[in-house]
A and B are shown apart, each in its own frame.
Chain A
Amino acid sequence: AQRVTQPEKLLSVFKGAPVELKCNYSYSGSPELFWYVQYSRQRLQLLLRHISRESIKGFTADLNKGETSFHLKKPFAQEEDSAMYYCALARNFGNEKLTFGTGTRLTIIP
């Protein structure tokens, strides 16, 4: 069975400093990886997915199949980045079912 691990429950970073949220997965096939974000009092929303290879709000994530990782990065943190971030996996492209990690709460210190 697939599994998504986010080792950091809490992460605090100073404004302007680089951010890296870690995500590791276990799955023997070729999964599709996502990052979802939940801002305070808002619903869960898609931040980015690896297949689109795009940068959203300055965030990027590269799928490393060798290390089975999909870490989320941003070079310069902004206060509005404070939120809960979830890494998620679908077993293959087009598969609808998502397996979520436990999430990392990111706090940006002014």
Chain B
Amino acid sequence: GAVVSQHPSWVICKSGTSVKIECRSLDFQATTMFWYRQFPKQSLMLMATSNEGSKATYEQGVEKDKFLINHASLTLSTLTVTSAHPEDSSFYICSAKAGSYEQYFGPGTRLTVT
């Protein structure tokens, strides 16, 4: 089956710094990738949708300048949390699809901002 990886799986950063999370489709070309955020014991909330070679579409309430998304190739999308603060601490999950209807999910990245 299709595999999506995320790197790193866990990251700690200091308040005010930026952190980049990578999402890769390992065995297929992903025309669309999605970024979700999940707080403890809560559901996944879609943050943005990115299509290869074009700007990401952000959901209402998600700050574009804070959560920079780049989908530079058909196998890689990155999420950069800029000037991170403790309230940005969360579990970030990406998913990818390749023209078919099913989304394949990555294992997630736990971000802790101190």
B103 touches A43 (CB 8 A): no
Give Cα A45–Cα B108 distance, bound, in whole angstroms. Answer: 13
Within A83-110, which residues are at the interface with B (CB < 8 Å)? 86, 94, 96-103
B97 touches A96 (CB 8 A): yes
Chain A residue nearest in CB terms to B5: A43
A43 to chain B, nearest CB (A): 5
| Interface flag for A46 (CB, 8 Å) | yes
> B interface, by DSSP: helix, strand, loop or mixed?
strand
Question: What residues of B have a CB within 8 angstroms of the CB of A49 in the complex?
Answer: 101
> A interface, by DSSP: helix, strand, loop or mixed?
loop
| Interface flag for A44 (CB, 8 Å) | yes
B108 touches A98 (CB 8 A): no
B105 touches A96 (CB 8 A): no
The residues of B with any CB-CB pair to A shorter than 8 Å are 4, 32, 34, 41-46, 49, 93, 95, 97, 101-108
